[in-house]
A and B are shown apart, each in its own frame.
Chain A
Amino acid sequence: MLSYFSRRLAMMGLIVLGVATFTFVLSRALPSSPVEMMLGSKPSADQIQRAKEELGLDRPVVEQLGRYFFQLAQGRFGTSMRTGQPVIKEIGQRLSATAELVTLSLFLAVVLGLPLGILAAAKRNRWADHLTRVLAVSGVAVPVFFLGILLQMVFYGWLGWLPLQGRIDSNVMLDHPVPVATGFLLIDSLMDGNTAAFKSALTHLALPTITLLLASLATILRATRNLMIDVLATDYIRTARAYGANRRKTYFLLALKPTLVPLLTIIGLTYGFMLGGSVITEVLFDWPGIGAFVVESVVTNDFPAVLGVTLVISTLYLSINLIIDMLYFFLDPRISN
């Protein structure tokens, strides 16, 4: 098992290197030159030449790539041309905002998706099943940005219950500052006993969370339903029923257990979708996370930032896939033996 995972880890390292090479070479093929962006609208030929030398852009691409890898090995991701900050610092500041949003969404999607999927399987082809089917088909068909706009219209525009965008009220943050411990505002404010900040953070989280989770909820719900229907038709469930095991035990204990392993794959997949969906959600809700950072960097041709953030997000994504594969070993006795 150990050798298997060290091989997987080495493979992942190679893929990350591949990603770094790929994005770097692509960024050098960029039609809009980063030099122009740095120097403003009308630089002289001399200025351009000097800036190119400064950035090392006059060297062959292979040499530039070598330098880039050397920098990466030292943990240096370059400096954002837009903000002048080290890219890794920018990412670090924004990672917790994305993590809070994605974690909460995934948690809710699983917590709601499993029971609803079980319900749909138990009430197969009855109205509860049909209702969840419509929810599931809608959930994957609605564009994330449109769902977010609808929620903003209803809960901010018409009802006025929830804030339009942002992560927390700036007034609340000024009057009741939250000390940073985990980076998750909900947890930090709760640990601090800061109810004003907690309430503000929670109301700000509500709409982006719903926006982000619907597609995943739909996917998890339908997968649970379909897996459960297969399991419910097996002999051991029929036997358990014949022996008079109560319904709750049958559904939640006996039938759910074998579905958990394939569900793990689905949950891992939806996590990846959430990382992608968070880009749109963060732009729409002005959420200060790495998804919004991707778009800001891409729009302004801030290529060190694009390279850095792409590398970080894909490494995260690959790690999650690896962790899920590792969990198989612990969950599925057929693999671990």
Chain B
Amino acid sequence: MPSSTTSHLVPWLARYIAWSRRNIFAAACATGFGLIVLMALLAPFLGLADPTQIDFSSKLLRPSSTHWFGTDGLGRDIFSGVVYGARVSLLVAIGVVTIAASIGIPIGLVAGYAGGWIDTTLMRISDVFLAFPPLLLPITLAALLGPGLLNAMCAVAISWFPWYARIVRSTVLTVRSDLYVQSARAIGTNPSSIALRHVLPNSLSPVVVQASLDFGFAILTTASLSFIGMGAVPPTVEWGLMVASSRSVFLEYWWTAMFPGLAIFLTVFFANVVVDGVRDSLDPKLGRQP
């Protein structure tokens, strides 16, 4: 390895090791999350059984050395379902927060920077989306868009965009009176260029925080939609759908629900702990307590 890379890498690693000594729990969770990401990336190269392969001759088999997590009611291997499901859930979570943010950011930017009636109109429209208790709007939207994981993802993202719009708007309101924005205005820079080149980049960090906080929640919400039949449809391999399909048999064949359910739980658990840990160590207000 060239020395220039190592000199970049080593301090980073040293800092990570020092951090994990102080936060053993968070470090363990970060490792767990890393393993899940690795599992998702490497799924096709692990030589696993096809998770969609139906085989009635081997249905509802107990966990064994051939089927580590057993098989489900259609004889599909649950272990490879759990591994392939990781790809779906992680991608879905990234997709949901990305779509939600990319709808919310422009709306918040325009509302906050333009002000006046444009602001009022955009915010009142957002209020309508916020008038639904969590999960109700995603369910309704998913039903209207029709089944399928992509539609479920959009349904969740559309329900969540007002949060992003609000966050961006409130940051824009403070940033736009900053000195550098005033000076840009004074020298006659045109408004859209100020908004895009000066205000927007300085309003994004709360959005990143919100997106990472929503990551786990996005996995939970889409899995819930799949569970009630409003999300993923076969042959998509999705954890919520796997739990749903176990509903008629899980009392006798516990493994059919246990492993996909645990997979959701652990992924969200690890993700939340890691996000909290990173946020705390970045927040100068919390500081380091002796």
Contacts and interface: CB of A to CB of B under 8 A. Distances in A.
B273 interface: yes
B241 to A, nearest CB: 11
B56 interface: no
B131 A144 contact: no
Contacts of A329: none
A65 B140 CA distance: 19
A313 B135 contact: no
Contact of B133 (A157, A164, A313): A313
Given A276-B134, A310-B132, A317-B132, A137 B127 contact: no
Contacts of A26: 140-141, 144
A318 B139 CA distance: 18
B128 A141 contact: no
B131 A16 contact: yes
B278 interface: no
Contact of A137 (B247, B251, B272): B272
B43 interface: no
A279 B265 CA distance: 19
B264 interface: yes
Interface residues of B, number: 42
Nearest to B132: A314
B224 interface: yes
Nearest to A16: B131
Contact of B240 (A18, A145, A301): A145
Contacts of B135: 276-277, 279-280
Given A141-B265, A149-B243, A295-B228, A276 B131 contact: no
Interface string A176-189: 00000000000000
Nearest to B145: A31
B220 to A, nearest CB: 5
B274 to A, nearest CB: 11
User: What secondary structure prevails in chain A residues at the interface with B?
Assistant: helix
A197 B216 CA distance: 41
Contact of A317 (B131, B141, B143, B146): B131
A30 interface: yes
B200 interface: no
Contact of B136 (A18, A283, A314): A314
A294 B141 CA distance: 12
B261 interface: yes
A146 B131 contact: no
Given A275-B133, A280-B228, A299-B229, A143 B139 contact: no
Nearest to B227: A145
B269 A137 contact: yes
B19 interface: no
Contacts of A275: 133, 136
B251 A23 contact: no
Given A26-B141, A27-B144, 15 more contacts: A141-B268, A143-B224, A143-B243, A143-B264, A149-B250, A157-B254, A273-B134, A279-B135, A294-B140, A299-B229, A299-B230, A306-B143, A310-B140, A313-B136, A317-B131
5 tightest A-B CB contacts, nearest first: A276-B135, A146-B261, A18-B128, A141-B269, A275-B133
